[in-house]
Amino acid sequence: MKLLNKIIRRQKGNSTLFAIVLTLVCIFLLLALFDLCITYIIREQTKEVSEAISLAIAQQLLFFDQDELILMAEKMAASRYCSLAVCNIGYDRIEVSVERKTELAVLERIGLSKFKTVRSSSSVKIIYPWARELGLCHYYEFGY
């Protein structure tokens, strides 16, 4: 019995250290999970912004209003705390890429700083009303 009491007294210090270390590891993992959740939420927000910008530019192109499209896109991105990374405007295709920086609590400190910037891209294909696919326009083909 005395031997068992000695063993239990010795283990009290070890079990306390184990409980403290286990608590710290759990807190660290929860903070890392919280960082990943924040990154995912910001990714969804940047995706919404990039889609909104690409659709707005497509609408302006349909009405032949091409003045200050890039400026409009930058203002739309800035209104949601993002920055416009890439904006390629073609005749029938628009590609927009938006990025936003995040503030990470744990992942940045352990060397995973590549998650600090979140970028989302969207592209839109424009089909004009005079395109043959819609069948709204009469056209003629001449052969030789």
Q: Is pTM beyond 0.95 here?
A: no
How far is 65 from 85, CA to CA, in rounded Å? 22
Res. 133 pLDDT band, cuts 50 70 90:
low
Q: What is the pLDDT of residues 60-97, one digit of tens each?
A: 887 777 778 888 999 999 999 999 999 998 888 999 99
In this model, does residue 28 exceed pLDDT 80? yes
Reported as type and span, the H/E element at residue 123 is strand 117-125
